[in-house]
Amino acid sequence: MLHDPNHLYIFDTTLRDGEQVPGCQLTTSEKIEIGIELERLGVDIVEAGFPVSSPGDFQSVVELSKNLNDVIICALTRANENDIKVAAESLKFAKRGRIHTGIGSSDMHIKYKFNSTREEILERAVAAVKYAKSFVEDVEFYAEDAGRADNEYLAKMIEAVISAGATVVNIPDTNGYCLPEQYADKIRFLKENVKNIDNAIISVHCHNDMGLATANSIAGVKAGARQVECTINGIGERAGNTSLEEVAMILQVHHNSFDGLKTNINSKLFTAISRQVSMMMDMPVQPNKAIVGKNAFAHSSGIHQDGFLKHRENYEIIKPEDVGLDEAGIILTARSGRHAIKYHLQRLGYNLERSDLDSLYTKFLDLADGKKEITDQDLINLAQNTTIKV
């Protein structure tokens, strides 16, 4: 696969690793609503589900494939033919489909999860990639628990799967085990020791068991990875995954430290999508969560308030409006006019034609008559129904 060396690919797995969390399950139509917002946010790849796991997950991948046009749709599998065949079937409507297959790579997983040997696992990894390749051009391979895997063996596995056709190689720190320098050393080791590494993109996929998921992902990017797997609000198994909004803002604030690496992310949509995901998944965001927590831009101590009032940048490294936090305090009610609605729609990334705005306004008044206040989510729903003909 040809790729732009200055682009950092954002692979969103909110709808797969995030949705696996107990209590976070979504209906297919909720997944489509989030998928549409992820596409508007500017992610490159949406991991839409694990199709063999349930008929609902299969259907979600089918529907997301039909409804999203500008992103790669990815489907997860284990390293066996049935999973891969089902994933390929679920992707048949995708404009660009990717199969994400893989197997454990640490001795712990090889022995206690698969009751197998390094040699046998390597053969299964290669066979899975070759089989996936018979359906789609774009095949991503994950070496599960790579964080704890022996680097020499991992390098052998990665070289073999790239030779078999993998276009992206995912090096997951499945258990959130690594320190940032250990994880960076692993990525660097692969770059230096896998002969065909330039034929694939290295992807980082980190879990947050010790609060290091974002730090490890960033360390991996600095060592040469060019795809980050992450979720909105950092939701995911156990303590979660790398948070998408944290990675994107780190790149934005520290752009000089990343040799011109760029993403397509529109950070102004973060607050709205964070609230949407939190509400639909019934998963509150911790108040002190970086970027999207309720307190992320609140200054409470006297010393900080005094310094902030003298000059915002004394205590503000990111402007709240850059992540879509509304500072104007314009509240939408049944008495609001078109200007206020237009202001909020623009803040949420919707620039509607006059006629669409008029038709949305009528629906807005109907809704606002029965509610005290209209939320961002209400507006997004109105805008999607007005502008997107699905």
Q: At what angle do helices 354-369 and 338-347 cross, to 10 degrees?
A: 100
Report which DSSP code applies to 138: E
Q: Which is nearer to ligand KIV, 46 or 348 (CB)?
A: 46
* Binding footprint of ligand KIV on the chain (CB under 6 A): 17, 142, 144, 170, 172, 174, 205, 207
CB of 270 vs ligand KIV, minimal distance in Å:
23
Q: Which is nearer to Zn ion, 21 or 261 (CB)?
A: 21
* Residue 289 interface partner, choices ligand KIV, Zn ion, none, CB cut-off 5-8 Å depending on type: none
For residue 370, give Cα distances in angstroms to 333, 381, 382: 10, 16, 15
CB of 388 vs ligand KIV, minimal distance in Å:
30
Interactions with Zn ion, residue window 11-70 (CB under 5 A): 17
CB of 310 vs ligand KIV, minimal distance in Å:
45
CA distance 270 to 277: 11
Q: Which is nearer to Zn ion, 123 or 237 (CB)?
A: 237
Q: Which is nearer to ligand KIV, 48 or 325 (CB)?
A: 48
For residue 339, give Cα distances in angstroms to 202, 231, 342, 343: 46, 33, 5, 6
* Helix/strand/coil (H/E/C) assignment for every residue in 164-196: CCCCEEEEEECCCCCCHHHHHHHHHHHHHHCCC
CA distance 23 to 100: 24
3-state secondary structure of 29: helix
CB of 20 vs ligand KIV, minimal distance in Å:
8
Residue 90 dihedral angles phi and psi, to the nearest 5°:
-70, -20
CB of 350 vs Zn ion, minimal distance in Å:
32
* Residue 144 interface partner, choices Zn ion, ligand KIV, none, CB cut-off 5-8 Å depending on type: ligand KIV
For residue 88, give Cα distances in angstroms to 20, 95, 122, 134, 229: 21, 13, 22, 10, 21
Q: Which is nearer to Zn ion, 17 or 63 (CB)?
A: 17
Q: Which is nearer to ligand KIV, 142 or 361 (CB)?
A: 142
CB of 361 vs ligand KIV, minimal distance in Å:
44
* Residue 142 interface partner, choices ligand KIV, Zn ion, none, CB cut-off 5-8 Å depending on type: ligand KIV
CA distance 67 to 51: 17
* Residue 58 interface partner, choices Zn ion, ligand KIV, none, CB cut-off 5-8 Å depending on type: none
Footprint on this chain of Zn ion (rule: CB under 5 A): 17
